[in-house]
């Protein structure tokens, strides 16, 4: 349910807690990356908590012709809009019960807010919680070219331990379709979260 109540921290065993992942979907082009991430995590048995921006909903409609919330409801019971600042992920105690957080795709605006400590919405506030608690945070940036400001913001966060990953599909996998290229980017993001999978064909030399 959108903005649904979640379990209190401590109601799950340590093993179960590590099966929770926070996914942010911001307003950059490429909402399919976020959707595919949620799909794969469901298949892998993970509980997903998804934070979407209003711009992400518009992009999904434009690029995919879908209602983003309705699509995500197929794979998760925990969907929040970025305006729901009171939702469970806004608390730093929630981040420590999670495997990690990935914002995919991550807009340059979201990158800038996080880099400058601006927690004005649920998405950026939750990301800041992961930095505060020294938990895994992956930002999949879908923008080109990158100017000095974006690079400085990325470097600032990288020095704090945030993993910055451009959405750059590889061609050594010999992709046969757009799906292959999407899956490569999603698979790489899951690699950075330490999640085992076989979504893409790895380089073996």
Would residue 15 count as lying in a domain?
no
In a domain, 161, yes or no: yes
- Tens-digit pLDDT profile for residues 73-130: 999 999 999 999 999 999 999 999 999 999 999 999 999 999 999 999 999 999 999 9
Give me the pLDDT at residue 24, please. Answer: 98
**pLDDT confidence of residue 18:** 65
Domain count for the chain: 1
- Secondary structure of the chain in HEC code, one letter for each residue: CECCCCCCCCCCCHHHHCCEEEEEECCCCCHHHHHHHHHHHHHCCCEEEEEECHHHHHHHHHHHCCCHHHHHCCCCCEEEECCCCCCHHHCHHHHCCCCEEEEEEECHHHHHHHHCCCCCCHHHHHHHHHHHCCCCEEEEECCCCCCHHHHHHHHHHHCCCCEEEECCCCCCCCCCCHHHHHHHHHHHHHHHCCCCCCCCCCCCC
Q: Is residue 10 part of a domain?
A: no
Is 8 part of any domain?
Answer: no
Per-residue pLDDT reduced to its tens digit, 47-63: 999 999 999 999 999 99
- Domain holding 57, by residue range, is 21-169+177-192
Considering the domain boundaries, does residue 117 fall inside one? yes
CATH number of the domain at 162, please. 3.40.50.1950
Asked whether residue 131 is assigned to any structural domain, the reply reads yes
Whether residue 205 is contained in a domain is answered as no
Q: Does any domain span residue 49?
A: yes
Q: The whole model's pTM is what?
A: 0.91
């Amino acid at each position: 349910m959108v903005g649904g109540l979640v379990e209190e921290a401590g109601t799950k065993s340590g093993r179960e807690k590590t099966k929770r992942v926070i996914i942010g979907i911001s307003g950059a082009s490429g909402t399919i990356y976020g959707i595919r991430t949620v799909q794969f995590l469901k298949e892998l048995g993970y509980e997903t908590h998804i934070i979407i921006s209003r711009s992400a909903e518009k992009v999904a409609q434009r690029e995919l012709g879908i209602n983003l919330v309705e699509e995500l409801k197929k794979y998760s019971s925990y969907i929040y809009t970025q305006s729901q600042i009171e939702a469970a992920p806004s608390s730093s105690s929630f981040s420590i019960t999670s495997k990690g957080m990935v914002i995919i795709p991550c807009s340059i605006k979201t990158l800038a807010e996080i880099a400058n400590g601006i927690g004005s919405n649920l998405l950026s506030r939750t990301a800041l919680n992961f930095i505060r608690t020294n938990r895994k945070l992956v930002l999949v940036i879908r923008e080109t070219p990158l100017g000095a400001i974006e690079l400085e913001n990325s470097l600032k966060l990288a020095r704090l331990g945030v993993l910055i990953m451009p959405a750059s599909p590889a061609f050594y996998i010999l992709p046969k379709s757009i799906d292959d290229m999407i899956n490569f980017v999603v698979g790489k993001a899951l690699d950075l979260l330490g999640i085992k999978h076989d979504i893409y064909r790895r380089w073996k030399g």
